[in-house]
Amino acid sequence: MLVREMDRQECNEFIARLAFGRLACSRENQPYIVPTYFAAEPDRIYGFATLGQKIEWMRSNPLVCIEADEVKTQNDWASVVVSGRFEEFPDTPEYAEQRRRAQAFLEKRGAWWQTAFGAAQTRSQFDRDIPVVYCIQIHKITGRKASRDPKS
């Protein structure tokens, strides 16, 4: 197997296409991972969730990591890792334009509200919870792609 680095554009296209991955946040150096749907622009990633451990931890420490991968076989896979900073878009007039833009991107990938519902235990809890719209400002994005070694 040979592994090569993906360039920035490849990484951006990869996460925009997958629109699904895992987000890690950290509190007192204990990391925590959750699978998450998202929508990606070249410099930021939009997400949506109901209140829970993930949102609470990102509010207390905004440094996060998002990873997306596609594993076809053990010799044919790609993985992109993003380091970034959580920023919440509260439902207030000053964030109205940013929320609108984030929601437009999230809606493009369809059924986006189901993601947030996944975090709620019951329908009544979902109705009661206030949805949180956020973005991750990308500080660093890297990717690696593996292919079969023709010499093997």
Bridge partners of 45, per DSSP, are 40, 136
CB of 107 to a copy of itself, least distance (A): 14
Establish if 41 lies at the interface with a copy of itself (CB under 8 A).
no
Name the residue with tokens 């919870």. Answer: 129
- Bridge-based pairing of strands 20-27 and 30-37 is antiparallel
CB 35 within 8 A of CB 19: no
Q: Among candidates 64, 58, 66, which has minimal Cα distance to 11?
A: 66
Establish if 104 lies at the interface with a copy of itself (CB under 8 A).
no
CB of 91 to a copy of itself, least distance (A): 24
Residues that bind a copy of itself (CB under 8 A): 1-3, 20, 22, 24-35, 61, 63-67, 69, 71, 74-75, 77, 79, 81, 83, 111, 114-115, 117-118, 120-123, 146, 149
